[in-house]
């Protein structure tokens, strides 16, 4: 299982989606989840509406290219119509291990048309994931509690779909119960499974100790 650092490996909330958090994640061998929006005529790293001074996508990908291990890069698309510049940036930097997710369905189809790996979503509100057959993977979320069973994750993996699980602390819930369920089911040994977490080093230590 790959560990994906949610908005980078930040030590203080002020570091989220900053170069320092990204470099710390990459140096630690972790993947990164981050947010993309448009600002002016470019694509920048921003969870909320850009206020100016955000890191350009090109600079983020250039940083990631210096650390080829520990991926994937999970690109959370926060605005419509970014397919062409995102595809161009990924091609320019030779980034082959990124995927996009969280777009509206019509926007997602545009990423598929550009040949980019796109994950569909599954949650308690999206129990039948859209465009699953064409998706490279499943972004598995749980807003109010872990509604899914390990068997569902295993079934997607058996279908050849990658799966990235949103760890409960991203929704301000305790995380260890889910981590134990994943470990007890042996899912942490699946290379196509990822865990998106605010605690990347703790997750690495937890699952490594169980091998």
**Please, which pLDDT band fits residue 71 given cuts at 50, 70 and 90?**
confident
What mean pLDDT is predicted for residues 148-177? 98
Angle in degrees, 0-180, between the axes of helices 19-27 and 57-65, rounded to the nearest 10: 20
* Residues 6 or more apart whose Cβ sits within 8 Å of residue 7: 16, 17, 21, 32, 33, 34, 35, 47
What mean pLDDT is predicted for residues 151-157? 97
User: What's the predicted TM-score (pTM) here?
Assistant: 0.96
What mean pLDDT is predicted for residues 149-155? 97
Domains of the chain from N-terminus onward: 2-208 (3.20.20.190)
Tokens representing residue 95 in the block: 């980034």
Whether residue 69 is predicted with pLDDT greater than 80 in this model: the reply is no
Summarised one tens digit per residue, pLDDT across range 173-195 is 999 999 999 999 999 999 999 99
In the numeric block, the tokens 């230590």 are attached to 205
Do residues 134 and 112 lie in contact, with contact meaning Cβ atoms separated by under 8 Å?
yes
What mean pLDDT is predicted for residues 107-136? 97
Tokens representing residue 69 in the block: 């291990």
Cα–Cα distance between 49 and 47 in angstroms, integer? 7
What mean pLDDT is predicted for residues 24-37? 97
- Going by C-alpha positions, the residue among 76, 73, 44 that lies closest to residue 57 is 44
């Amino acid at each position: 299982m790959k560990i994906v650092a949610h908005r980078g490996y930040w030590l203080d909330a002020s570091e989220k989606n900053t170069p320092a958090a990204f470099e710390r994640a990459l140096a630690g061998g972790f993947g990164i989840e981050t947010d993309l929006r448009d600002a002016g005529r470019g694509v920048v790293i921003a969870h909320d509406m850009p206020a100016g001074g955000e890191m350009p996508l090109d600079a983020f990908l250039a940083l990631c290219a210096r650390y080829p291990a520990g991926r994937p890069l999970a690109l959370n698309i926060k605005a419509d119509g970014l397919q062409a510049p995102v595809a161009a940036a990924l091609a320019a930097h030779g980034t082959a291990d990124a995927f996009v997710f969280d777009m509206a369905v019509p926007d997602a189809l545009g990423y598929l048309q550009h040949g980019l790996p796109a994950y569909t979503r599954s949650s308690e509100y999206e129990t039948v994931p859209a465009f699953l057959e064409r998706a490279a993977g499943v972004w598995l979320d749980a807003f109010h509690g872990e509604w899914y069973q390990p068997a569902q994750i295993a079934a997607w993996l058996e279908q050849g779909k990658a799966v990235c699980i949103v760890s409960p602390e991203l929704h301000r819930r305790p995380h260890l119960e889910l981590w134990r369920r994943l470990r007890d089911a042996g899912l942490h040994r699946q290379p196509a499974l990822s865990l998106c977490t605010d605690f990347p080093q703790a997750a690495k230590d937890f699952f490594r100790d169980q091998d």
